[in-house]
Amino acid sequence: MNVLDAIAHTLKREGIEYLCTFPTTHIIESAAELGIRPIICRQERVGVGMADGYARVKNGNPPGVFAMQYGPGAENAYAGVATAFSDAVPMLLLPLGHPRGRDGVYPHFSSVRSYESVTKSVERIQAASDATNVMRRAFARVKMGRPGPVMVEIPSDIGNEEIDDSIVENYRPVKTTVAGANAQAVAEAAEALMKAKNPVIYAGQGVLYAGATDELVQLAEALQIPVTTTMAGKSAFPEKHPLSLGSSSGVMNAAAFDFLSKADLIFAIGSSLTLHGMTTPLPQDKTYIHATNDSIDLSKNYDVDYPILGDAKLVLAQFSEACADLTGSTPRDADGTVTAEIASAREKWLADWTAKLTSGQTPMTPYRVIWEFMNAIDPNEAIVTHDSGSPRDQLMPFYQAGGPRTYIGWGKSHGLGTGLGLNMGAKLADPDKFCVNFMGDAAFGMTGLDFETAARSGIPTLTIVLNNSTMAIETSSMARSHELYNTRDLQGNYADMAIAMGGWAERVEDPADAGAAILRAKEATENGEAALLEFITSEEAEFSHRRPFA
């Protein structure tokens, strides 16, 4: 068989079901012959987003895969890969490369050179006989250690070269392995955790990738410690649990803000503790336990008193065992003070927002849309994601995710429109879930034509467009230019566009119809239709707790 066929065989043996892609690359034909379904996007960034969303929901088992042509295809995919890299998403990228001898010659785009800074590793197949070895190394890198995109470039002149069938037949799927932490380090950290008066667990997406939600719940319940999650870790801890503080990023509810403010110890597990534009920096005057699977994150932005290196699932089990030895016979917080304080803080905060959440004004506030969605949909039966900008900051503090991977949080390196591809990938990964992305009209303008991909490919997702006909989040930064030239204004009827692209859609202007419209859209997806709801909303400039900690 030829090299492209051989690569397709390795994909099949590694459990790959879908190849997200945009032509021209002949790996599409080779994959289809083996029953790997190609999903053809309208632009490469969205295709990468589909592979990204698939990988997140599957926890990288198997990873998402995206293939593209050399030159323009690889160039257009770059922004999507940068997002996946910043959020540590396990995915495999298969660009064609220029023929050998032409690669690296100006002005030809080199994937190997250009993607080095936004991938975990990049390798070029140099000889046909080495193709399966390169693929084995790629899957080993994508499956183990800190997650991230891995790239294999296939020079176009190698793709059709013959390879001995026996080499492919001998290919075996890569087995994964993880490691626990140093026992003494865990024991010392556990003692500090038990002595803390007001500890908080700060859980990141490493908990999700490790499949460690049960272990996190067990430790939190045993010690009665409140848990907040990062943006990327949202849903790692069920947010309707009495000990949940919800997510904490640049926006958060009052319970998360208050408990993080008064904490004397923060136990960060499965988080890189990276400072970026979507976070509120945590206070430095705390004791920090930081458990991660990559040493590059330790003591990066915070002074860490107890560094722990290991897989989140194993580390949490180690902590449960170590803390059990220190607990004694009396349960911590046996009178339920902590859970009562969490409930009180959240109820007071919600009361302050009730008028906006339930407002009957027109155009409706986006918070009314979010409120109606929360009351209509079971979070355990859905997978929800936000887009960049206002939809993310409006949704995250209020929406309470269900179990693991019922929410996809993202945004360290964030391109408008990313949520559309993530949502389609999520639906491919978990067809029984109601998969919904919230996006603004500016975000729809970036990637909206790929709604047709969902309609054409039979991927019944719901896209909620919050259309305020402006870039509201830029109000202060573009005040003068808008006054002179209306630079923030946008326009469009996105429901009509969705219908024209083969989907089900409604435009909703009456806030009293918001909840019923969401249920009608859900029914459309259950009938196999890609759905879009366009809500005509107000310019909303108020967000929850964007201020820094004292």
- Asked if pLDDT for residue 521 goes beyond 60, the answer is yes
pLDDT, residue 547, reads 73
Are 442 and 382 members of one domain?
A: yes
Q: Which two tokens stand for residue 197?
A: 């008066």
Are 319 and 192 members of one domain?
A: yes
- Asked if pLDDT for residue 279 goes beyond 90, the answer is no
Burial bucket for residue 284 (CB in 10 Å: 0-12, 13-18, 19+): exposed
In which residue are the tokens 């492919």 written? Answer: 168
Q: Report residue 32's pLDDT band, with 50, 70 and 90 as the boundaries.
A: very high
Are 38 and 81 members of one domain?
A: yes
- Asked if pLDDT for residue 81 goes beyond 60, the answer is yes
Are 518 and 455 members of one domain?
A: yes
Which CATH number characterizes residue 325's domain?
3.40.50.1220
Are 150 and 37 members of one domain?
A: yes
Are 158 and 188 members of one domain?
A: no
- Asked if pLDDT for residue 249 goes beyond 80, the answer is yes
Are 59 and 115 members of one domain?
A: yes
- Asked if pLDDT for residue 517 goes beyond 80, the answer is yes
Are 365 and 282 members of one domain?
A: no
Q: Report residue 258's pLDDT band, with 50, 70 and 90 as the boundaries.
A: very high
Structure confidence by residue, pLDDT tens digits, 349-362: 999 999 999 999 99
Are 165 and 195 members of one domain?
A: no
Q: Report residue 327's pLDDT band, with 50, 70 and 90 as the boundaries.
A: confident
DSSP code for 281: P
Q: Report residue 411's pLDDT band, with 50, 70 and 90 as the boundaries.
A: confident
- Asked if pLDDT for residue 418 goes beyond 90, the answer is yes
The reply to whether 418 falls in a domain is yes
Strand partners, 92: 65, 150
Which CATH number characterizes residue 520's domain?
3.40.50.970
Are 329 and 377 members of one domain?
A: no
Structure confidence by residue, pLDDT tens digits, 362-373: 999 999 999 999
Are 148 and 198 members of one domain?
A: no
Q: Report residue 276's pLDDT band, with 50, 70 and 90 as the boundaries.
A: confident
- Asked if pLDDT for residue 496 goes beyond 70, the answer is yes
pLDDT, residue 297, reads 95
- Asked if pLDDT for residue 331 goes beyond 70, the answer is no
Last residue of a domain, which of 341, 376, 391?
341
Structure confidence by residue, pLDDT tens digits, 472-492: 888 889 999 999 999 999 999
The reply to whether 353 falls in a domain is no
The reply to whether 549 falls in a domain is no
Structure confidence by residue, pLDDT tens digits, 440-454: 999 999 999 999 999
CA distance 320 to 492: 54
Measured CA distances, 99 to 155, 164, 360, 409 (Å): 5, 22, 61, 39
Q: What number is the average pLDDT over the span 47-63?
A: 98
Last residue of a domain, which of 293, 310, 341?
341
Are 222 and 107 members of one domain?
A: no
pLDDT, residue 461, reads 98
Q: Report residue 196's pLDDT band, with 50, 70 and 90 as the boundaries.
A: very high
The reply to whether 543 falls in a domain is no
- Asked if pLDDT for residue 227 goes beyond 70, the answer is yes
Amino acid at 28: I
Q: How many domains, the chain?
A: 3
The reply to whether 542 falls in a domain is no
**Range list of β-strands (E), 77-232:** 91-97, 121-124, 149-155, 199-203, 227-229
pLDDT, residue 330, reads 54
The share of the chain scoring above pLDDT 90, in percent, equals: 89
The reply to whether 95 falls in a domain is yes
Last residue of a domain, which of 292, 307, 341?
341
Mean pLDDT of the chain: 95
Q: Which two tokens stand for residue 92?
A: 């495999």
- Asked if pLDDT for residue 329 goes beyond 70, the answer is no
**What is the span of the domain harbouring residue 244?**
183-341
The answer to whether the beta carbons of residues 225 and 260 sit under 8 Å apart is: no
The reply to whether 175 falls in a domain is no
User: What secondary structure does DSSP assign to 477-513, as a single string?
Assistant: TTHHHHHHH-TTB----HHHHHHHTT-EEEEE--GGG
Q: Report residue 414's pLDDT band, with 50, 70 and 90 as the boundaries.
A: confident
The reply to whether 283 falls in a domain is yes
